[in-house]
A and B are shown apart, each in its own frame.
Chain A
């Protein structure tokens, strides 16, 4: 029980940190990777909450396909965030 609670607290802290980093970074490629880490931690959280079905879907689409599509968008535009 204590282990589960500790896992959930650590996962939620990791979610907040990765979401903050995705906003904070100026390198958009690093932002996409941070969002991928966010999705991966979210899928682990779904797994801890006993929804393995949703966890697989989240890991496949959130961490895999969305990151790839973000990388294509960065390839087509600029890699660095412009001020203003």
Chain B
């Protein structure tokens, strides 16, 4: 792509990533969650992948790290689910416990404290990492399929 697209992409990449992680971190308070935030982060990856040439992308974004992110996300989601197995699968044992994400919520309108909701934020984070890995791998494989690059499209 042209120099304008490349400059825009490398400028916007950081902000798209920050917005995606914001959606993931506030998954239990605001609209959106793991899947939506992960899709936004993968959009940032796709932006860079569209803008640059094949060799530069191969140097900047490693396929193994995205696959590892997918695996780590799924594994930590299952671990977060199994960790409440003393009562039942997916039992929210962290909520209202005073530990990590364990602050109790007052009755009434949600004031929007981030440090609440128990294991839900952890699961959101796991799903976000998993989705960014999966969709990023899809985009990268699509690029490997058309390795020639820059031939017809300006």
A residues with a Cβ closer than 8 A to B are 29, 52-53, 55-57, 59-61, 64-65, 68-69, 71-79
A79 to B149, CA, bound (A): 12
Tell me the minimal C-beta distance from B1 to chain A in angstroms. 9
A64 to B154, CA, bound (A): 19
B129 interfacial contact with A, CB 8 Å? no
A61 to B150, CA, bound (A): 24
Contact status B142-A56, CB under 8 Å = no
B151 interfacial contact with A, CB 8 Å? yes
Contact status B146-A56, CB under 8 Å = no
Contact status A75-B151, CB under 8 Å = yes
Count residues on chain B whose CB falls below 8 Å from chain A CBs: 28
B17 interfacial contact with A, CB 8 Å? no
Contact status B152-A57, CB under 8 Å = no
A68 to B50, CA, bound (A): 6
Contact status A56-B139, CB under 8 Å = no
B29 interfacial contact with A, CB 8 Å? no
Of the candidates B31, B39, B50, B146, the one whose C-beta lies within 8 Å of that of A52 is B31
B124 interfacial contact with A, CB 8 Å? no
Taking CB atoms, residues of chain B closer than 8 Å to A59 are 40
B residues with a Cβ closer than 8 A to A are 23, 31-33, 35-36, 39-40, 42-43, 46-47, 49-50, 135, 138-139, 142-143, 145-146, 148-154
A59 to B23, CA, bound (A): 13
Taking CB atoms, residues of chain A closer than 8 Å to B152 are 74-75, 77-79
Contact status B49-A75, CB under 8 Å = no
New A-B contacts (15) at CB < 8 Å, excluding given A68-B142, A74-B152? A29-B154, A53-B33, A53-B36, A56-B23, A56-B36, A60-B36, A60-B40, A61-B135, A65-B138, A68-B50, A68-B139, A71-B153, A73-B146, A75-B150, A77-B152
The 7 A-B residue pairs whose C-beta atoms are closest, nearest first, are: A76-B146, A64-B43, A60-B39, A52-B31, A68-B46, A56-B36, A60-B40
Which of A52, A68, A69 has the most chain B CB atoms closer than 10 A to its own CB? A68
Of the candidates B39, B145, B154, the one whose C-beta lies within 8 Å of that of A57 is B39
Taking CB atoms, residues of chain A closer than 8 Å to B135 are 61, 65
Contact status A52-B148, CB under 8 Å = no
Taking CB atoms, residues of chain B closer than 8 Å to A69 are 46, 138-139, 142
